[in-house]
Structure 1
């Protein structure tokens, strides 16, 4: 598979290669020089820090049905 380098030195990574390496928009990649002189493209593994809000994310339970909510708003509870 061959690609063309633009005047700015940019290339488009072919989709089969992106799929193989798991490269998606926003991914970081690096170019490494192998011992035999080849240049290797590799994704950089980055783990996103867990946000303080993600730790709180969850489900509070079943909740109230419509009749219970209406009773609360009417002061019947």
Structure 2
């Protein structure tokens, strides 16, 4: 169990090991839920985007989009040691 100290401003700082456990990085958001008996639940907020938002994420300027068949062909050639 970790004990945290509340500052005079009413703030707490979560230690690095707790942030890592939650998967929190700078700029991440957390949710806090009030529970009965003076308890709270802290959780990392997960992105709520669509899978289609990731399409083209790795595409570089001037690079053409390849089909699934072309991807499979490149993969097969790689496994065969041809690349």
> Do the two structures share a fold, i.e. TM-score over 0.5?
yes
* Coarse TM-score class (shorter-chain normalised): 0.5 to 0.7
| Deviation (angstroms), 1:17 | 1.0
| Deviation (angstroms), 1:48 | 5.7
| Deviation (angstroms), 1:24 | 0.7
Candidates 52, 56, 59, aligned match of 1:57: 59
- Superposition TM-score, scaled by structure 2 size: 0.52
Q: CA RMSD in A?
A: 3.1
Alignment size in residue pairs: 60
| Deviation (angstroms), 1:57 | 2.6
* Higher relative contact order, structure no. (Cα contacts within 8 Å, ≥ 6 residues apart): 1
Runs of 4+ in 1 over 3 A off after TM superposition: 34-37, 47-51
| Residue in 1 that maps onto 2:21 | 20
Cα gap change, 1:37 to 1:3, in 2 (>3 Å): closer
| Residue in 2 that maps onto 1:71 | none
